A and B are shown apart, each in its own frame.
Chain A
Amino acid sequence: MSMSYKEKSLIASLGATLLVFGWYFYQVFSNQMFNIGHEFTFNDIFRPIILIVVLEIIIQSFLAGKDKNKEDERDALIELTSYRNGYWVLSIGVWFLLIQLLYVGSGGWYDILENSSPAFISHLLLLFFVLAEVTNFITQLYHYRKGI
């Protein structure tokens, strides 16, 4: 079976997200661990977000021009299930960060964010948003291929 417009669109979005944010978070975390390069600030968050928005506009306009089908109840059900999975990933990430923030400065072994700047914590939050989005894309692709 050939790939539908939705599948092509999902693969392109997944690829763009992994490429842009993979490269970005590699830089952020290697900087945090080895303290090399420039210090990432909160404003740096907007660079990959703007880049992914521009890439998405280009990808979607390119795909839509060739083969765009209407959506039906199956698409809606797959989307709903996938957003639920993404929601769980995001919830786990946000709760993890909230609990960690309670222990910042306590000095215990559980104080993972010790010496972390607010900008780095913002980047962690963005990471969980991206992981939730990737989960959403992968779940959708899985259901389009394996059924729901």
Chain B
Amino acid sequence: MSQQTLADKVGVTRQTIFAIEKDKYSPSLEVAFKISNVFKTSLEDVFTYE
């Protein structure tokens, strides 16, 4: 899935998806849940807390 497709499904910009991937931005809970919903998996499978 491209960054733009994920961004469109979640409702953020492609730059925000890029920033999340590069660990330059921690998304809100709402966006984090939306991303995990897109991949049909749990939040813990997509995000980890360090």
Which residues in A have some Cβ–Cβ distance to B below 8 Å? 1, 4, 6, 69-75, 144, 146-148
Which residues of B in the span 1-50 have a Cβ within 8 Å of any Cβ on A?
11-16, 18-19, 22-25, 27-28, 31
Give the chain A neighbours of B19 by CB distance below 8 A: 74, 147
Would B24 and A75 count as touching, CB distance under 8 A?
A: no
Interface of B is mostly: loop
Q: Assess the A75–B13 pair: CB atoms within 8 A.
A: yes
Among B11, B23, B25, max chain A CB count under 10 A is at B25
CB distance from B8 to the nearest CB of A (A): 10
Asked if B13 and A148 make an inter-chain contact with CB atoms under 8 angstroms apart, the answer reads no
Q: How far is the CA of A134 from the CA of B16 in the complex (A)?
A: 24
Shortest beta-carbon contacts, A-B, top 4: A147-B24, A72-B12, A74-B16, A4-B15
With contacts A72-B11, A72-B12, A75-B13 taken as known, whether A147 is within 8 angstroms of B25 at the C-beta atoms is yes
Given A4-B13, A4-B15, A147-B19: A73 in contact with B24 (beta carbons within 8 A): no
Residues of chain A within 8 A of B12, CB atoms compared: 72-74
**Residue in B closest to A7 when the chains form the complex, CB atoms:** B15
Measured CB to CB, the closest approach of chain A to B43, in angstroms, equals: 17
Instruction: List residues of chain B with CB within 8 A of the CB of A1.
Output: 15, 18
Cβ–Cβ < 8 Å partners of A73 in chain B: 12, 16, 27-28, 31
The docked-state distance in angstroms from the alpha carbon of A1 to that of B19 is 10
- Pick the contact of A74: B13, B22, B23 (CB < 8 A): B13
* List of A residues within 8 angstroms of B27 by Cβ: 73-74
Q: A141: shortest Cβ distance to chain B, in Å?
A: 13
Select from chain B the residue with minimum beta-carbon distance to A78. Answer: B25
* Closest chain B residue, CB of each to CB of A1: B18
Q: Which residues of A contact B15 (CB under 8 A)?
A: 1, 4, 6, 69, 74, 144
Contacting pair B22 A69 (CB below 8 A): no
